Amino acid sequence: MKAYNFMPCIILFFVQIIIPFVVGGKVPAIIVFGDSTVDTGNNNQILTVLKSNFPPYGRDYYDNKATGRFCNGRIPPDFISEAFGLRPFVPAYLDPMYNITDFAVGVCFASAGTGYDTATSHVLNVMPIWKEIENYKEYQKRLEAYVGIQKSKYIIEEALYIVSMGTNDFLENYFAMQSVRAFQYTTEQYRGFIIGHVENFIKEIYQLGARKISLTGLPPMGCLPLERAANMLRGQGDTCNNDYNDCALKFNEMLSALIQKLNKELPGIRIAFANPYGIILQMVENPASFGFEVERIACCGTGLFEMSYLCNKLNPLTCRDPNKYVFWDSFHLTQKTNQIITNSLMKNVLHQFV
């Protein structure tokens, strides 16, 4: 009788089954809530004018595919997932190309254009945050059916939750012309109003099992190319809108205080403050130190006001090399910028979850 050596089979089993969980460390999945800073394609599947599933969006993504990411390539959740030893991208929950086998290690519920304030989602008819949570609840049921109760609980509690939104609440809602919220609240009051919504949101996903959370602050939103262009139209020169930047700074201070409060109040929770303000401002003020050449305008079109359908392949003015630019369109960052920010966050903030 022939003797069989089962050792290679055992080794192969270990490599294929055991090692992926070891490499991923303590984070078995990335779960994403938010707006266009982290939306990987959910808006493709809803009735809204705010889409980016067409060229030149995605021209530096895998297979040069426009996936619905508001970028020339990958965005922060993709880089974060890769940094934790998972896949180099996070699929959108509504994307029919993916199913629960994909979502078990990473899923995105974000919708471009949304905010903590439900009224913000009405501006461009996108998913409100409560709908993102409803989709997450549905995902939990599908996950449990796929991997079982015990493993599902492990994934939900050990996953890293990325929460990134808030800019639209101010730029698309409160500071917009004929804003209802501006009549209801002073700027200071509205910041408090949004912070209250942030607290409620965090507590809700906490009740649903979230324990490791990366909560993103506001960027220097007054330095977005769109806001610089608006300043020029107002005759104030090609400068950042300092009032908007000041608003972002004060909001981030309130957000930091909220994080400290919730970390003390909610047993077992770990919320990390992923504050992009400083590093983005550094890139805007000293682009050459990061390898950029252009920071005042975006790569797409004139770089002043184009985004979504105005940023299209018919525009002859789109730049040839996005790596020279901080911004991809008038509201969003290039892939290179996203990677620099993610590298900084991994080194200074998110390493605690590795």
Q: Which residues are catalytic?
A: 36, 329, 332
Cβ neighbors of 27 (< 8 A, separation 6 or more) are: 84, 86, 158, 159, 160, 212, 353, 354
Whether the Cβ atoms of residue 260 and residue 252 lie closer than 8 Å to each other? no
Q: Are 137 and 31 spatial neighbours (Cβ–Cβ below 8 Å)?
A: no
Nearest to 273, CA basis, from 214, 211, 345: 214
CA 93 to chain CA centroid, nearest Å: 14
Are the C-beta atoms of 132 and 109 separated by less than 8 Å?
A: yes
Contact 97, 118 (CB under 8 A): no
Half-sphere exposure at residue 127, Cβ-oriented, CA atoms within 13 angstroms: 28
Look at residues 149, 168, 146 and name the one whose alpha carbon lies nearest to residue 36. Answer: 168
Crossing angle of helices 129-147 and 149-158, rounded to 10°: 140
352 touches 327 (CB < 8 A): no
